[in-house]
Structure 1
């Protein structure tokens, strides 16, 4: 049974590494700040969570389960909030979106454009 958890843990770790690699490629391929922040925020949360869960599967104890739960929860919250804060600050500093973006819902929330 421990061999099964070892293989599943390694698979989860490699899946997390693959997800982070794809997001790193997205940093170079995506055209603007907003797409980059969205891709990295989403994949960083998921990729790191996969790596933590994989490490937990390889060395399971109840204490490690508690640590992994806290680490995954903190990573999911921090990556989502952080990436959206970066995108919002870029928008407030007039970082233009790519030409493929044609809907600008945040424009209606800007006070400096309505005064």
Structure 2
């Protein structure tokens, strides 16, 4: 009969391999996706979830109360920083006029851009 330690070790390995697979998919996305915005979104989400999955897997393989606290802090920090970082990269690209892929049909941020050229009457020149 399997002990709890063996089950947790096996589950930890599954989480680690899922995390590795997620990061590999994010890496492929860097080369296959057509523009900065899609790449930033895919890598920010996938890398955040991949690293979080690896940390959870490591926690399951060597579980203790202290490791639980460390893993919780690491997972929360990783999920927050990967999302904020990828959005900062996308925003920087947008403000530097990085062109989106042709499959992008709308630009919802165009109406809110403060750096658009305007004429003296306040009408947009675009």
Q: Which structure 1 residue ranges, 4+ long, deviate > 2 Å from structure 2?
A: none
Match of 2:72 in 1: 69
Pairing 1:34–2:50 present: no
Select which of 9, 14, 17 maps to 2:17. Answer: 14
* CA-CA distance at 1:114 after TM superposition: 5.3
C-alpha deviations, 1:67-92, integer Å up to 9, x for none? 00000000000000000000000000
Output the aligned Cα RMSD.
0.7
Match of 1:88 in 2: 91
Q: Which runs of 5+ in 2 are unaligned?
A: 119-126
Residues 103-112 or 82-91, more deviating = 103-112
Q: Report the structure, 1 or 2, having the larger helix content.
A: 1
Match of 2:57 in 1: 54
Q: TM-score, normalised by structure 2?
A: 0.89
Q: Which runs of 5+ in 1 are unaligned?
A: none
C-alpha deviations, 1:41-72, integer Å up to 9, x for none? 00011000000000000000000000000000
Kindly indicate whether structure 1 or structure 2 has the higher relative contact order, using CA contacts under 8 Å at least 6 residues apart: 1
